[in-house]
Amino acid sequence: MKYFFLADGWTYNRIWERGGIWNENAWRRKPHIQCLPLGMIENNQVLWLHEVEDTIIMVEVIPIDENAKLSSTIGQVMLKRLIDTEQVIQSLLKAQQIFKS
């Protein structure tokens, strides 16, 4: 498994695998992405840990708020590089606070 942290108010959009953007017709399923019940506070921002399958190499995240999307499309899209278990542990060790939902 691979992981990424996602801030409150954001969601994932497009998903990339080695062949390009995830194609549900070719894979015959949606990608495995799950929000885990573990979060942290970093720079006064709540971040939730998400788990993805190994096939996924990158995730595009966008704000949930429609007004934020309309105001500035370029500045409101981020590509998340995925991290491994060791990197998750290092991030949690550096966090201001860790919590479970």
Q: Who wins on pLDDT, 81 or 98? A: 98
Return the pLDDT at 45: 92
Return the pLDDT at 31: 97
Q: Other C-beta atoms within 10 Å of 12: how many?
A: 17
Return the pLDDT at 95: 94
Return the pLDDT at 8: 93
DSSP 82: P
pTM of the model: 0.87
Q: Which domain holds residue 64?
A: 2-100
Show the CA angle centred on residue 95, arms to residues 92 and 96, nearest 5°.
Answer: 145
Total structural domains within the chain? 1
For residue 68, pLDDT beyond 90: no
DSSP 27: H
Return the pLDDT at 79: 87
For residue 71, pLDDT beyond 60: no
81 pLDDT tier (thresholds 50, 70, 90): confident
